[in-house]
Amino acid sequence: MESNHSTVKRTRRWPILALMAAIFVAGFLLGSQSTISFTRSEENSEGNTSLPAEVAPLFDSLYETYNLIEAQYIDMPEPEVLANGAIRGMVESLDDPYSNYVDPEYYPFVSSDLEGSIEGIGVLISTDEETGETVVVNILGDTPAERAGLQEGDVFILVNGEDAVGLTFLELAARVRGPAGTTVDLTMRRDEELLEFTVERARIEIPNVASELLDNNIGYIYLAEFSSVARSQVDAALAQWDTENLNGLIFDLRGNPGGLLTTATEIAGLFLDEGVILIEDYGDGEKEIYRVQDGLVIQTRIDGTERTYSTNAAYSGVTAPVVVLIDGRSASASELVAGAWQDHGTVTLIGATSFGKGTVQLQNSLGNGGGVRLTVARWLTPNGNSISGQGVIPDIIVEIPEDAELAEGEDPQLQAAIEFIMEQQPIPAGQ
């Protein structure tokens, strides 16, 4: 599964502009707001349209406000607009950047799983924490965004005439994404200039795994995100090589913003033959435990029962030293997997401290056709440590300043990984 290594290097150096970064292939938000979720039984919450008796009186004023608007407001909007605003306000009051509401018009564009392809324009974005603006931090190659002339650093001002500054990640993503062949009108700010773009959307294959056999018989695998097919893609990359005779393996999770919980647990089985992968803490004293055993992922539920839900977690059989590269853009599922391997001592982590997203989200569909994504749990490493707000700290720290001017092909973290592997055993030069 060979891939253009220069593309990999470019994706590794995306700047950090805010508290999250996400692949935004014109719409679906991967990564720190994506679905590392749902694991707990759904406890009759979905589809329940009645309020608990003890809180029902608190919402009387909500209905009263609607009636007042209908009776008195000069330009009565459609009732759906008011309902969407009420739901959005309720979710925003949680003050949780990972909990969001998407209205029915746009929800279909953000409710799909991570399947490795998507219809959109092909950019990676981040939110500037100080200004609240959404900024392009990378353009995927050979995509509509690249062909239209969008550039890194461009700021979203308008999307189809709508103010983009007040939109959440999911809302902005949903508005830019759309069926292949349709267009989206964008107003972007570049430095002090406003630029207009009409970009035709396309189906984009997200480059997820790249692999290369480096000098000295060291395998290198880069994983962009934990999509539903990531484990099988990584297995295919490993199958290229005689893994029993590798001198080392470098598994690169830098810039990987996360993905699916099921895939994360499958990937954990690569370098963990058995043992706990993570603990989910629901904040009320209840916990669920995930472990890998005999190539299976086993979930121990709150009530003590067990469920085997994945058979794609077999140990890779790699016996050579394994280095995992992480950085400040490695988030969510990346941190889950790196943290599990670190606690079990099966790999050596090199790079910079990871992002620090230690929560789990559940995506819920609503009766109106919209959807709500809510934080439902915190996850802990096998040793019971939370990484929220502090990240996973590498065993060997190699920082790369954001303003560092590196020569073409220069990668201090990758070089540190190679040197570490070569120190573990004598390797004849040029082998």
- Catalytic annotation present for 32: no
**Rounded CA gap, 416 and 398, in Å?**
8
- Hey, what are 115's tokens? 């399947």
Which of 386, 335, 372, 356 lies closest to 19 in space, CA to CA? 356
**357 has catalytic annotation:** yes
- Cβ atoms within 10 Å, residue 293: 15
> Contact at 8 Å (CB) between 70 and 76?
yes
User: d(Cα 371, Cα 116) in Å, to the nearest integer?
Assistant: 22
- Residue 332 designated active-site: yes
User: Phi, psi (5° rounding) for residue 273?
Assistant: -70, -35
Residue of 273, 268, 42, 20 lying closest to 168 (CA atoms): 20
Tokens describing residue 124: 């990676």
Residue 235 phi, psi dihedral angles, 5° rounding: -60, -40
The CA distance from 234 to 325, in Å, is: 16
Nearest to 338 by CA among 391, 409, 410, 283: 391
Cα of first residue to Cα of last residue in the chain, in angstroms, is: 22
Q: What distance in Å separates the CA atoms of residue 6 and residue 2, rounded to the nearest whole number?
A: 12
Residue bearing tokens 């009320």: 284
The three-state secondary structure class of 9 is helix
Q: Of the candidates 139, 247, 243, 238, which has an alpha carbon nearest to the alpha carbon of residue 197?
A: 139
**Residue 235: CB atoms within 10 Å:** 16
DSSP code string of 133-156: -EEEEEE-TTSHHHHHT--TT-EE
Catalytic residue among 34, 227, 316, 357: 357
Given the residues 332, 334, 354, 411, select the one marked as catalytic. Answer: 332
- Which residues are known to be catalytic? 332, 343, 357
